[in-house]
Amino acid sequence: MTSNAARAVSPPSANPSDTTERERLTAFHLRVTATTFGANFSDGYALGIIGAVLPVLGTTMHLSGLWQGLLGASALIGLFFGSILLGRVADAIGRQKLYLYNFALIAVASAAQFWAHTPLILFLLRLVIGFGLGADYAVGPTLLSEFAPQRLRGVLLGSLTVLWTVGYVLANILGTYIPITDNAAHWLLASGALPALLVLVLRIGIPESPSWLATRGRAAEAAEIRRTHLGQTTATAEEAEAAAAEQPPTAGYRELFAHGQATKTWFGVIFYSAQVLPYFAIYTFMAQILSTLHVSDANTQNLVLNLALLLGGIIGLWPVQRMGRRPFTIWTFAILAVCLGAMALLNSASGWALMVPFIVYTFVMAGASNITQVYPPELFPTSLRGSGVGFLNGTSRVASAIGTFVLPVSLDQIGVGWSMGWMAAVLLLGTLVSLAWAPETRNTLTAEDWHH
């Protein structure tokens, strides 16, 4: 990225009424937010439901440990390729097309899981689902960040993870309290098509990002979208697009590692990966972990943990908005590392004693995860945002897939104590990298952001 694109600038002079107008929350903002919420709900549900049905499928499909690991990681592998490949496409051709058509792909592949009675077919379908969701991880937060008022960007983007958690928790509760047979397992897998279809319908008619249009020299179209959908005056819309048009129209992946941008990119990769690796590993194999902890009433504890996950996500929205990105990230990493470290040291204690740090970890991790939707779009300018967000999501999914594949082997070979220990070390790495590199982006307005 060029230094001009990376450098934060002050906005052109504007009167207070213009600023108020740019900060107004409209019905259109709520619609874009709702459809992006729906995408994150679908993702959480898709990733949660496979963990819920794997114990049954392991028996009915005669799955080896290898196949269980592959099916658990399948959507995450697809997420990697979708994020990496289609994030760059979003910067090249625009956000809107991918924002619409990826959910047609997700809906079809989700429904087809009903007829997937071999591990290979199910694995391939979940790769496709993950590929479509990966596109949305690159495009959804990018488009929302480019439409959202700057003062509300943190809470709106952070809320995406809350909806992911709602989908994930719902999948876990269904898997816990519905008697799961082979037929019921396939119905649950296919039920992911319902929220995907709803998201697809609601996205019809959402326009292209005006910031992206302006970087392509289409300022008149961008200004018209601002007038029609955001309720801005002609003067305000044209002023905003003139600023956005100063950004370079295209940028390659190499610009993610150019002078002035490379540290932010590497921070994003390590921070995101360190957070989600233990998250996905632990919650995909929650039943096995609870069994290893010798908890007498695993269903009740599973419900308690899922409620802690949901409450943590909701309550965690406040500090994301109020504390700033840097301190929030550092403190949550540190608390999470301490919790898993405590589980490692207390591995020979009773199940209930181990549940205390586990519940605290779950609560804090849910809140900490909100930042993964806020930080990435703020680390990159318009010309790199789709590529950058896609790259961070893709690399984090590699970490997620590795953790999901390795944890069941780790639990079997070295036990719960050492397994919690190496995951605590991953979180400690995230703490140290955040201390060294985490930027504060809450109030930083780049050339293409100030007009929101």
Question: What pLDDT score was predicted for residue 16?
Answer: 40
Domain membership of residue 4 (yes or no) is no
Domain membership flag for residue 16: no
Q: With 90 as the cut, is the pLDDT of residue 115 above it?
A: yes
Percent with pLDDT over 70 in the chain: 83
What is the distance between the alpha carbons of residues 185 and 80, in angstroms, rounded to a whole number? Answer: 26
Q: Is pLDDT above 70 for 131?
A: yes
Q: Is 222 part of any domain?
A: yes
Q: Which pTM value belongs to this model?
A: 0.68
Query: 290 vs 174, which has greater pLDDT?
Result: 174
Q: Which range has the worst mean pLDDT, 116-120, 204-208, 281-285?
A: 281-285
15 backbone φψ class: left, alpha, beta (φ>0; ψ -120 to 50): beta
Length of the chain as a residue count: 452
Q: What is the pLDDT of residue 6?
A: 37
Residue 318 pLDDT > 60, yes or no? Answer: yes
- Whether residue 71 lies inside any domain: the answer is yes
Q: Mean pLDDT, to the nearest integer, of 43-66?
A: 85
- pLDDT surpassing 90 at residue 267: yes
Q: What is the CA radius of gyration of the chain?
A: 22
Confidence of residue 11 (pLDDT cuts 50, 70, 90): very low
In a domain, 300, yes or no: yes
- For 63, the domain range is 27-437
DSSP 123-159: HHHHHHHHHHHHHHHHHHHHHHHHHS-GGGHHHHHHH
- pLDDT for the residue 140: 78
Residue-level pLDDT at 385: 78
Contact status, residue 368 vs residue 77, Cβ threshold 8 Å: no
pLDDT per residue as tens digits for the range 145-194: 777 776 677 677 777 777 887 888 888 788 878 888 889 999 999 999 99
Give the Å distances, CA to CA, from 287 to 55, 242, 294, 332.
9, 54, 11, 25
Looking at residue 30, its pLDDT comes to: 80
Question: DSSP of 356-399, one letter per residue?
Answer: HHHHHHHHHHHHHTTHHHHHHHHTS-HHHHHHHHHHHHHHHHHH
pLDDT at residue number 234: 57
Q: Is the pLDDT of residue 55 over 80?
A: yes
Position 46 in a domain? yes
CA distance 145 to 262: 21
Which one has a higher pLDDT value, 246 or 88?
Answer: 88
Q: What local confidence, expressed as pLDDT, does residue 338 receive?
A: 95
Amino acid at 438: A
pLDDT at 429: 95
Integer Cα distance of 180 and 59 in angstroms: 12
DSSP-assigned beta bridge partners for residue 320? none
**pLDDT computed for residue 425 by the predictor:** 95
Residue 2 domain-assigned?
no
Domains in the chain: how many in total? 1
Mean pLDDT lowest for which of 344-353, 406-415, 429-438, 443-452? 443-452
Burial of 188 (0-12, 13-18, 19+ CB in 10 A): buried
Pair of tokens at residue 9 = 């600038």
Q: What is the pLDDT of residue 336?
A: 95
203: nearest Cα among 274, 277, 106, 285:
106
Confidence band, pLDDT 50/70/90 cuts, at residue 247: low
By mean pLDDT, which of 1-15, 36-50, 156-170 is the weakest? Answer: 1-15
Compute the C-alpha angle 106/387/89, nearest 5°.
55
Q: What is the pLDDT of residue 85?
A: 80
Residues 55, 56, 62, 68, CA torsion sign: negative
**Quick check: is 448 in a domain?**
no
Q: What is the pLDDT of residues 350-406, one digit of tens each?
A: 666 778 888 899 899 888 888 887 888 888 887 777 778 878 877 887 888 788 778
The CATH code of the domain that includes 363 is: 1.20.1250.20
